[in-house]
Structures are given as structure tokens and as C-alpha cells.
Amino acid sequence: MNKMDEQLNLWANGRLAEADRRELEKKMAEDPALAREAEFAKALRQSMRDQPLTPPAELGLARLRKAMREEPSAAEQGGEQKAATQTPARKNFWKPVAIAACLVMALQAVLLLGPAPWQRGASVDVAPAAGDTAPAATRLQIVFAPSATAADIRAAVLSVNGSIAAGPSALGVFSLALPEDASAAAAVETLRAHGSVEEVIAP
């Protein structure tokens, strides 16, 4: 039935091969019900084609042109993709610089506020105001990727048995405290292996 239906539809559209068309028309001549089905298919095609429908025309074209202007061309898109693969390093250049700047500022504050370190017997008092003893542990400065989740951060911190001692700063820098006996170099290497870690700097 589906096969005959397909033949009738192709016939109505004038797309049936010549030999098939003649054969079908012969069948129609012998079978009035089939002829009426064919007539229905032809009338349906005609009525569908006669249906009025107004597309957006020039307004639609103006909208498309605007969208195209905002769109880079295919050649530019290729260039952009290439650039995108090169951008992360350039985009994130400020992070190590920011970490270094924070360290310089911290050092400067110690030098300005504390006793002169070249004076014999002088020591810099960096004990917390709360009265706790100053942590003896090594601290690393670390920046996580913007897409890093809480689970990523936790995994990275626990991989070096560390704990977040401070941060994040306005620039997203965390201070990570390592256990007393930990090697800072080894911890940096472990942390850098995490995809979620963007930058780590040891003191």
C-alpha cells in the first residue's frame, strides 16, 4: 500500500518515470478508486502550493545582514580559532606578575614596619595579633583556573596535605600552607600537575 501511495504522490508531482507513469495511468483507467486517490493527491499538491504565506523578505534580509556584520568571516574565524589556542598564556600573564607583586609588597611592609633587619639581634615580629604562634610551615601562592570547582580545589590542596591559610585575594591568589616537613619544590610539581591549578609559586 505504501509503495502504491508513493507512486501516486510522485505521479501528482510529475516526478514519476515515463514508463512507471504510463503503467500507473493504465491501472487508474481500470480502477476508479485508484483514479480518485490520484486526484486527491494532485488536488492536495495544488492546494498546498496555493497557500499564501508571506516570508519576512527585505526585513529578514536586513536582519541577516546585521547578524553577518557581527559575525567574523570564515577566514577570520580560522584566525580567531588559532588565536584562541594562543591566548591563555597571554591572557594569564598577569597572574604570576600579581603573585610576585604581592610578595614584594608583603616584604616591603615587613621592612618598613618592622625593625631594621641589618641591626644585630633584631627580628621581624610577624606573630598573629590573636596571640597564636607564627606558623613555621612553608606557604605557597596558588591561583586556580576560573572553571575550577570546589571539588577540584579540595583535591589539589589535599594532594600535598596542605591547607588554605589565606585568600583568595582580589586577584584570586590563595596562600597554601604545607606541612612542616614538606618539600616546597615537590609540592609545586604535584600542584602544577592538576588541571585546575593555573599558577603556583614557592617562596
Closest of 12, 7, 2 to residue 45, by C-alpha: 12
Separation between Cα atoms, residue 202 and residue 186, nearest integer Å = 10
Q: Does 2 interact with another protein (rule: CB under 8 A)? A: yes
Identify the burial level of 156 via C-beta atoms within 10 angstroms of its C-beta, where 0-12 means exposed, 13-18 middle and 19 or more buried.
buried
Cell numbers linked to 145: 583556573
Q: 3-class DSSP state for residue 174?
A: strand
Q: Does 185 interact with another protein (rule: CB under 8 A)? A: no
Residues in the interface with another protein (CB under 8 A) total 43
Q: Give whichever of 55 and 146 is closer to another protein, judged by the CB atom.
A: 55
Q: Whole-number minimum distance, CB 40 to another protein, in Å? A: 5
Q: Give whichever of 12 and 197 is closer to another protein, judged by the CB atom.
A: 12
Q: Give whichever of 65 and 91 is closer to another protein, judged by the CB atom.
A: 65
Q: Whole-number minimum distance, CB 73 to another protein, in Å? A: 4
Q: Whole-number minimum distance, CB 51 to another protein, in Å? A: 6
- Find out whether 168 and 174 touch, Cβ atoms under 8 Å: yes
Q: Which of residues 46-105 bind another protein (CB under 8 A)?
A: 46-53, 55-57, 60-61, 63-65, 67-68, 71, 73-75, 77
Q: Which of residues 101-130 bind another protein (CB under 8 A)?
A: none
First to last CA, the chain: 82
Q: Does 12 interact with another protein (rule: CB under 8 A)? A: yes
Sign of the torsion formed by the C-alpha atoms of 144, 145, 150 and 151: negative
Helix (H) or strand (E) holding 201: strand 197-201
Contacting residues toward another protein, per CB under 8 A = 1-3, 5-6, 9-10, 12-15, 33, 36-37, 39-41, 43-53, 55-57, 60-61, 63-65, 67-68, 71, 73-75, 77
